Structure 1
C-alpha cells in the first residue's frame, strides 16, 4: 500500500515539476528555436499534454484502495460539500477571463487577443482567486473523503501553489512594474481582507 502511495506522490511531483519547467522562459526559448513559426501552438500543446497527464493521475488515484485517516460525520460532509462547490465556482469564475490565454486557445481566434492586467471582479478582492479556489476545493476534498491519497495530493498542490505564486508575482512585477506593485500593496494574496468597524466610546 505504501508503495502505491509513493507512486502517486511521485506522479504528482513530476506533474508539478514539469508544469513549472515547461513554463519557464529559458525552456520556451529552446522550444521556440526548435519549432520556429509553429511555436505559436506551444501553449495549446502544453495545455493538452498536462490535461492528459492530469486525467491519468486522477485515474490512478481513484483506483487505489483508500486508507481512511479519520472518521467523518454527515455534518462535516455537508459543510465540506458547500466549501468544495464554492471553491469550484471561484475557480471557474476566475479562469473565465484567462481561459483562452492560459490554454493557448487564443490562437484560434481571428481577432487580436489583448494581454492586459485584469484587476476587476474577483481580482479586486484577492490577487490569485484561481489558486484560492483550488486550495479551498482541495482541502475541502481532504476533509470530505478523509483518505490518504487526497491528503498527499493536497499537500503537494499546496506547496506547488505557494511556490508558484512567488515566481508568478516576480514575473508580473517585471511585466507591469509600478502598477502591479501598487496592486500588491492594496489587495491580499489569497484571503480577502476583513475590515472591522470600531465605534468610539465617548
Structure 2
C-alpha cells in the first residue's frame, strides 16, 4: 500500500503547485524577480505540469493491478463514452480561449492581459467546464480500467476540486469583481442544474 500513498502524495504536490503558482500574489512577486523573463513563466509551468501529470499517470500504471470492480463490456463501453464526452467538453472549451496563450506557447505577461469575461458556450451552463471535462475523463479512465490506481486518480481529483474552485474563484473575483459574484449566483460550478438559453 505504500506505493499508493506515494501516488496520493504526487497528486497532492501536483494540485498544490497548480493552485499556488496561479495565485496573483505569487505571480506579481515572481514578475518582480524575473523581470522581462516572466513572459516565459506560463510556458515553463505548462511544460513542467504536463511532464509531472504524465509521470503520475505512468507511475499509477506501473503499480500492481488491484481490481476494485469487475471488468465487463459495459464498464469498458461506459469508460469510453465518459472519456469521449469529457474530451469533447475540453475541445469545446478552447473554442473561446487561445490555446497558445493558455499554454504559454505565445510568450506574454499574463498580469498585463486585458481579461475578457467569457459567459458563452459551455460557460453559460457551468462555471468550470475544464474541471467537468476532467471528471468525466478520469471517471472514464476508472471504468475502462477499474483498478485501485485509477480510483486514486479519480478520488484525488474530486477531493481537490472544492479547494481548486475556491482559490480560482477568489482570483476571478479580484479580476472581475461584482460581475463574477453575480455569475456565481446564476451559474452552477460543475454540474448544470438546468439548461439556459443564450
Number of the residue aligned with 1:150: 150
Contact 1:91 1:131 in 2 (8 A): no
**Alignment of structure 1 residues 5-44 onto 2, 5 Å:** 5-44=4-43
**Alignment of structure 1 residues 32-181 onto 2, 5 Å:** 32-98=31-97, 99-107=99-107, 114-181=114-181
Q: Which deviates the most, 18-27 or 169-178?
A: 18-27
Query: Structure 1 CA distance, aligned partners of 2:31 and 2:188?
Result: 35
Q: CA deviation at 1:148?
A: 0.4
Highest CA radius of gyration, 1 or 2? 1
Question: Unpaired runs of 5+ in structure 2?
Answer: none
Return closer, same or farther for 1:19/1:45 CA change in 2, 3 Å cut-off.
Answer: same
Contact 1:44 1:103 in 2 (8 A): yes
- Give the TM-score taking structure 1 as reference length: 0.85
Query: Structure 2 CA distance, aligned partners of 1:102 and 1:166?
Result: 20
Q: CA deviation at 1:7?
A: 1.6
Return closer, same or farther for 1:16/1:68 CA change in 2, 3 Å cut-off.
Answer: same
Query: Structure 2 CA distance, aligned partners of 1:191 and 1:92?
Result: 18
Q: CA deviation at 1:184?
A: 1.7
Q: Does the residue aligned with 1:107 lie in a helix, a strand or coil?
A: coil
Contact 1:41 1:104 in 2 (8 A): yes
- Give the TM-score taking structure 2 as reference length: 0.87
Task: Spell out, residue by residue over 1:156-180, the C-alpha distance to the aligned partner (whole angstroms, 9 max, x if none).
Answer: 1112222111111122122112221
Contact 2:23 2:171 in 1 (8 A): no
Contact 2:86 2:137 in 1 (8 A): yes
Number of the residue aligned with 1:193: 193
Query: Structure 2 CA distance, aligned partners of 1:33 and 1:175?
Result: 20
